[in-house]
C-alpha cells in the first residue's frame, strides 16, 4: 500500500512539475485561480501585470494590486466564474504596454468546475507595427495627394492640349488647353470619339482624315506610340481650320497586346505651319 501511495505522490509531483515547466517556458503571463478566485499557480511573466510573490499562493486575487488601467480584471474573473463562459479583452498597463487578456473557465472533468485560467499575451509590438503601417499609409496618401495636385496643376496650366480616351476611343478627360485649341466645352467633348465627323479632320495635303486613322485610334489599335503627326481640325468657336502637331501614347497592362487607354498631346502650329496652297 505504501508503494502505491508513493507512486501516486510521484505521479502528482511529475504533473505538478510539468505544469510549472509549462507556465515558466510559455513566455506568457498566466494566472490559475481556484473557484474562490484564490491564487493557485502563476507564470513569471504575470508579475508584469500583478504584484505577485511566491508567498501569495493561496491569497485572494482581489487582495493584490495590478498595473492595468481602465479595466478591472477581478471583475472579469468573477464574470467568467459566475457565467462559466470565456472572456477576451484588450488591456493596457500604466507603462502603455498592451495585452490580450483571455479568461477561461478551468475544468478538471465534464461539468466539474475548478476555477479559471487567465492569460496575458503581450501584443504591444504588434500594435506598434500596426500603428507604423497606418502612419506609413497616411504619409503615402499625403504624398499621393501632393503628387496628384502637382499633376493636376500641370495638366490644367500647360500650353499643350491633352486628351485621354478609353479603349473604345471615347474621350474621358481633357485639359483646358485642349478645349481652347479645339474650340469646344468640356460638356461638348466628353464622350465623343475620333470617329465623329464634326471634327472635320484632314491631312496636310487637304484630303479627309478618317476617324480610324486618327493618331489616337491607330495608337489604340497597334498599342504603339505615334509621334509628330500633323493634321487639320475644324475649330467651331473660331469657325476656322487649325493645324495641330499630335503625339499619341497607349496604355496597356503588363504583356497585354491591346491598349486599354490612350492619351494624346497636341500643339496648335497654325501660325507656323505652311500647308499646300490648295488647302
Same domain (yes/no): 114, 165: no
Same domain (yes/no): 89, 184: no
Structural domain includes residue 277:
no
- pLDDT tens digits for the chain (279 residues)? 566 666 565 555 554 554 555 556 567 899 999 999 999 989 889 999 999 998 999 999 999 999 999 999 999 999 999 888 999 999 999 998 999 999 999 877 666 678 899 999 999 988 888 888 888 888 888 888 888 888 888 888 899 999 999 999 999 999 999 999 999 999 999 889 888 888 999 999 999 999 999 999 999 999 999 999 999 999 999 999 999 999 999 998 877 788 999 999 999 999 998 877 655
Same domain (yes/no): 52, 108: yes
Same domain (yes/no): 106, 163: no
For residue 264 the three cell numbers come to 494624346
What pLDDT score does 24 carry?
Answer: 60
Residue 255 sits in which domain range? 158-268
pTM of the prediction? 0.54
Same domain (yes/no): 24, 93: yes
Closest CA to 248 of 221, 273, 224: 224
How far CA 152 is from CA of 106, 145, 157, 188, 262, in Å, comes to 63, 10, 8, 21, 18
Structural domain includes residue 64:
yes
**Strand ranges of the sheet holding 87-93, from the earlier edge strand across to the other edge:** 39-42, 29-34, 112-122, 98-109, 87-93, 68-69
Q: What is the 3 state secondary structure string of 200-234?
A: CCECCCCCECCHHHCHHHHHHHHCCCEEEEEEEEE
What pLDDT score does 119 carry?
Answer: 93
Same domain (yes/no): 182, 102: no
How far CA 154 is from CA of 68, 73, 157, 217, in Å, comes to 54, 59, 5, 25
Q: How many residues does the chain have?
A: 279
What pLDDT score does 111 carry?
Answer: 66
Structural domain includes residue 148:
no
What pLDDT score does 8 carry?
Answer: 60
Same domain (yes/no): 188, 88: no
Same domain (yes/no): 169, 110: no
- 118, 103 Cβ separation under 8 angstroms: yes
What pLDDT score does 18 carry?
Answer: 47
Structural domain includes residue 143:
no
Boundary of a domain, candidates 102, 124, 146:
124
Q: What is the distance between the alpha carbons of residues 91 and 173, in angstroms, rounded to a whole number?
A: 51
Same domain (yes/no): 113, 216: no
Structural domain includes residue 136:
no
What pLDDT score does 150 carry?
Answer: 87
**Percentages helix, strand, coil for the chain, rounded to the nearest 5?**
40, 30, 30
What does 96-148 look like in DSSP terms, one character per residue?
--EEEEEEEEEEEETTEEEEEEEEEEE-HHHHHHHHHHHHHHHHHHHHHHHHH
Same domain (yes/no): 115, 226: no
Same domain (yes/no): 105, 219: no
Boundary of a domain, candidates 98, 124, 150:
124
Same domain (yes/no): 18, 111: yes
Closest CA to 101 of 58, 50, 145: 50
Q: CATH no. for residue 237?
A: 3.30.450.20
Split into its structural domains, the chain has a count of 2
Structural domain includes residue 50:
yes
Structural domain includes residue 145:
no
Boundary of a domain, candidates 79, 103, 124:
124
What pLDDT score does 37 carry?
Answer: 94
How would you class 21 by CB atoms within 10 Å of its CB: exposed for 0-12, middle for 13-18, buried for 19 or more?
Answer: exposed
Structural domain includes residue 137:
no
End-to-end CA distance of the chain: 123
What pLDDT score does 28 carry?
Answer: 87
Phi-psi region of 132 (alpha: psi -120 to 50; beta: other; left: phi over 0): alpha
Amino acid at each position: 500500500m505504501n508503494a502505491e501511495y508513493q507512486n501516486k505522490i510521484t505521479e502528482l509531483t511529475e504533473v505538478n512539475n510539468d505544469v510549472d515547466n509549462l507556465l515558466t517556458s510559455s513566455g506568457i503571463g498566466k494566472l490559475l485561480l481556484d473557484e474562490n478566485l484564490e491564487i493557485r499557480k502563476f507564470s513569471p511573466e504575470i508579475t508584469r501585470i500583478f504584484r505577485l510573490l511566491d508567498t501569495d499562493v493561496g491569497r485572494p486575487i482581489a487582495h493584490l494590486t495590478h498595473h492595468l488601467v481602465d479595466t478591472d480584471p477581478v471583475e472579469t474573473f468573477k464574470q467568467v466564474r459566475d457565467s462559466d463562459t470565456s472572456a477576451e479583452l484588450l488591456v493596457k498597463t500604466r507603462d502603455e504596454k498592451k495585452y490580450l487578456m483571455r479568461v477561461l473557465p478551468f475544468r478538471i472533468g465534464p461539468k466539474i468546475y475548478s476555477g479559471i485560467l487567465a492569460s496575458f499575451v503581450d501584443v504591444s509590438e504588434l500594435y506598434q507595427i500596426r500603428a507604423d503601417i497606418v502612419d506609413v499609409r497616411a504619409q503615402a496618401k499625403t504624398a499621393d495627394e501632393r503628387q496628384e495636385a502637382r499633376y493636376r496643376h500641370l495638366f490644367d496650366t500647360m500650353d499643350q492640349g491633352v486628351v485621354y480616351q478609353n479603349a473604345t476611343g471615347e474621350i474621358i478627360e481633357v485639359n483646358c488647353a485642349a478645349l481652347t485649341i479645339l474650340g469646344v466645352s468640356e460638356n461638348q467633348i466628353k464622350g465623343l470619339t475620333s470617329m465623329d465627323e464634326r471634327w472635320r479632320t484632314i491631312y496636310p495635303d487637304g484630303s479627309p482624315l478618317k476617324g480610324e486613322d486618327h493618331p489616337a485610334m491607330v495608337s489604340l489599335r497597334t498599342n504603339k506610340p505615334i509621334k509628330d503627326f500633323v493634321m487639320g481640325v475644324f475649330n467651331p468657336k473660331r469657325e476656322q481650320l487649325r493645324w495641330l502637331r499630335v503625339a499619341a501614347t497607349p496604355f496597356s497592362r503588363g504583356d497585354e497586346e491591346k491598349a486599354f487607354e490612350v492619351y494624346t498631346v497636341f500643339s496648335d502650329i497654325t501660325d507656323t505651319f505652311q500647308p499646300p496652297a490648295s488647302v
